Amino acid sequence: MNICMTPHPFGGVLAVPSSKSLGHRDLICAALAEGESVVEHISPSEDIEATCRVLRHFGAQIEEISDTLPGRVSYRIQGGIRQGRNPVTVDCGESGSTLRFLIPLGLLTGRTVTYTGRGRLVSRPLQPYYAIFQSRHIAYQTADDGGLPLTVTGTLSPGAYTLPGNVSSQFFTGLLLTLPLLTGDSALYSSTTLESASYVGLTLDTMARHGVQVEEEKPGVYQIAGGQSYQPGRYEVEGDYSQAAFWLAAGCLGHDVKLTGLRRHSAQGDEVIVDIIRRMGGRITEEPDGLMASPSALKGTTIDAGDCPDLVPVLTVLATAASGTTHIVNAARVRLKECDRLHAMAEELNKLGGRITEEPDGLIIEGTGQVHGGCVQAWNDHRIAMSLAVASQIAEGPVQIDGAECVRKSYPRFWQDVAAMGGTYTEEAGSDE
């Protein structure tokens, strides 16, 4: 699907989609609890569907039920990992969270599990797990290039585990979710400075709400008591700061945008978007029922993306709209997402007249205030497509975004919400060639 955006400011009131990061974690913890749980207020997406699909293969019964909020669903879950002997193949779609969170859990099933996927997920790094498999004598087989499909046979034993902290925090989450269920105690260490530590904090916070405790001596050092169990219950998923970032940026570039459904002082690391925008001169005010972003004169700054990599695409748009130079640093891992997001944002915004220079671990953005129109690519990456939609507000002519359907991965209603917030676009089918 190709979307052609006519430059027009966004504005209005919007209920923010639920946190996809929390949705994954709440669903997994509920699926690991013996008994019935309900997880409420989840915004449907392909990634959430992938996690439910794999958890069903592992033994959880998951039923979608109605929700009290429009555009959201709840899930009734009869939890518990089920042992089995027959091999099983599970489809993780394009969800890196699903794959990396659930590989360790698959070792609790007693089955040979084959993990498949699509798109760039097939080649996203899994070496930290391979190193653990080798040291623990867990049998595994990959495709010739080391990617998916991945077949794993074996069991996970308690003990000391070490992971690199500069690849992805998702490996830490996968082990932290699983190790408390083993019979003995374990420890988990990061061999480097732990990047995206806030995402691990989100995992620990979610686990605690579901009845499982992990002692964090410091970021990257965790003591994990074995023999614990997740508790069933009713859990609500809060609004997503990763998705809110697009609308907060839009409000600074267009008309007032008010967002509801966000919890202030959240465990979500991407809440830092509020502080970053304010540091750039953006006007964001707190209201009793939400946050308001208002048109602002932005200025360049230095942004450390080590703990907020998902914000880099939309921050690149804000930096292009700002005066002066913005330097995004510590963002090398952004190259390992659904696409190489550093290259993609530089490539596409430069097509529109931006002035962006790539560095190995970041971007230098010279603010131009405006861009001209043109045709850009979404790179099969939801965050690229949504960021380019925000960029259309500062364009002098129409911006055509090819491959715009990729927003289904995390935010299927995005284009509907764009229209509801005053965005003007036409839609046409893309070519298969």
User: Residues at the annotated binding site for 3-phosphoshikimate?
Assistant: 20-21, 25, 168-170, 196, 310, 337
Taking a C-beta distance cutoff of 8 angstroms, is the pair 7, 397 a contact?
yes
pLDDT score, position 430: 67
CA distances from 198 to 194, 220, 222, 331 (A): 10, 11, 14, 15
pLDDT above 70 for 42:
yes
Q: Over the chain, what is the mean pLDDT?
A: 96
pLDDT tens, 257-313?
Answer: 999 999 999 999 999 999 999 999 999 999 988 999 999 999 999 999 999 999 999
* CATH dotted code for 20-226: 3.65.10.10
Give CATH superfamily name and number for 2-17+239-428: Enolpyruvate transferase domain (3.65.10.10)
> Comparing 2-17+239-428 with 20-226, is the CATH topology the same?
yes
CA distances from 217 to 50, 182, 194, 224 (A): 33, 20, 13, 11
User: Residues at the annotated binding site for phosphoenolpyruvate?
Assistant: 20, 96, 124, 170, 341, 383, 409
If pLDDT is split at 50, 70 and 90, which confidence band does 431 have?
low
pLDDT tens, 334-346?
Answer: 999 999 999 999 9
pLDDT tens, 416-430?
Answer: 999 999 999 999 876
Task: For residue 310, indicate whether it is catalytic.
Answer: yes
What single-letter amino acid sits at 64? E
Domains of the chain: which residue ranges? 2-17+239-428, 20-226
pLDDT score, position 373: 94
Catalytic site residue from 240, 310, 381, 417: 310
Give backbone dihedrals phi and psi of 48, rounded to 5 degrees, phi first: -65, -40
User: Residues at the annotated binding site?
Assistant: 20-21, 25, 96, 124, 168-170, 196, 310, 337, 341, 383, 409
pLDDT above 80 for 432:
no
CA distances from 413 to 23, 173, 429 (A): 17, 28, 18
Pairing of strands 325-329, 302-304: parallel
pLDDT tens, 71-130?
Answer: 899 999 999 999 999 999 999 999 999 999 999 999 999 999 999 999 999 999 999 999
357 Ramachandran zone, left/alpha/beta (phi>0; psi -120 to 50): beta
